[in-house]
Amino acid sequence: MQNLKVLRYKSSYKNEWNTFTVNSNQQTFLFQRDFMDYHSDRFHDYSLMIYKQDELVALLPANKVNDRVYSHLGLTYGGLIYNDSLKSKEAIDVLKTIMCYLNQNGIASLTLKELPYVYLNHPVNNPLAYLCFKVKAQLERMDMHSVLDLKFKAYSRSRKNGYKRGMKHNLVVEETNDFSLFWNQILMPNLDLKHDVKPVHTLAEIQLLKSRFPKQIRQFNVYHNDVVVAGTTIFETKNVAHSQYISGNADKNILGSLDFLHHHLLECVFDKKTYFNFGISNENQGQNINEGLQYWKEGFGARSITQGFYKIDTVNYKLLEDVFI
């Protein structure tokens, strides 16, 4: 541990941070600073950079609330970011160094949010669960992502019938750079009516992020007689296409619009990807699952993978001192 040092992220480190994330163990663009910083006014950034001598070896994308540090609450994913060559002892030293640093700086706890294995370049190099076990982490939340391995697509009768209804109604799927139709006419009214909430991203924010990540953020709309009736916003990475938002109007079941849309995406747009992530169906901080939504996703052959949220008392860094015998 004496060979490691921790620095708080600041804007002058942006290029170094971004370069490391591109060449790290993961493939999502959400850890790029141009994504993380779009809502910097809403979060007290407490991201950390860990060095061995002068070499950057790990990152912790994070923010601070009072005396707690979290895997960044503005991001879907989290955890430690490191290069693929990092070995188990080094991973242990990295977490021990981070916890010790936080403890010495008045931080009582660290909550780590898992990065689902489908976003890892090499899933076999992921010691987080063991590290959490050793430091007596408390599992605060568990979400389930509905993920389809695209080698094993399996459409249920309901999904096939939905696609046929879309064909019968002459639906059309188009990709667009303009998010306003979907946001204003479909997504925001639906979220307001059904859940009394707003999208995580405002229209202005998603348009800004699209300008920064034009190849990774994509919008697909479904039209019936030239009127938008459904759509999805996709966050695309090397191996995964993730539906960040999915929504259809009141006629979605009659028209089969969402079935038609996703059949098109799975067969024609993202058929060369390894995985398609439909996202979570959890509600109430992971305690419940929207049964109808889960049933719809699994109708394409998607199955569940988990994402844990672990609270670690920083004083427990001492528990990592006797791992190896």
**Same domain for 162 and 185?**
yes
Residues 109 and 160 in one domain: no
Question: Is 67 inside a domain boundary?
Answer: yes
57 and 132 in a common domain: yes
Torsion of CA 87, 91, 93, 95, to 10 degrees: 180
Clarify whether residues 239 and 316 are in a common domain. Answer: no
Angle separating helix axes 257-264 and 157-168, nearest 10 degrees:
100
Structural domain of residue 214, as residue ranges? 154-300
pLDDT digits (tens, 9 = 90+) for 181-217: 999 999 999 998 887 889 999 999 999 999 999 999 9
- Considering its fold, how many domains does the chain have in total? 2
The pLDDT score that the predictor gives to residue 2 is 59
Q: Are strands 138-149 and 275-280 parallel, antiparallel or unpaired?
A: antiparallel
Please state the rounded mean pLDDT for residues 107-134: 91
Element at 294 (helix H, strand E) = helix 291-298
pLDDT in tens, 271-314: 999 999 999 999 999 999 999 999 999 999 999 999 999 999 99
CA distances from 157 to 124, 161, 211, 252, 287 (A): 36, 6, 39, 17, 29
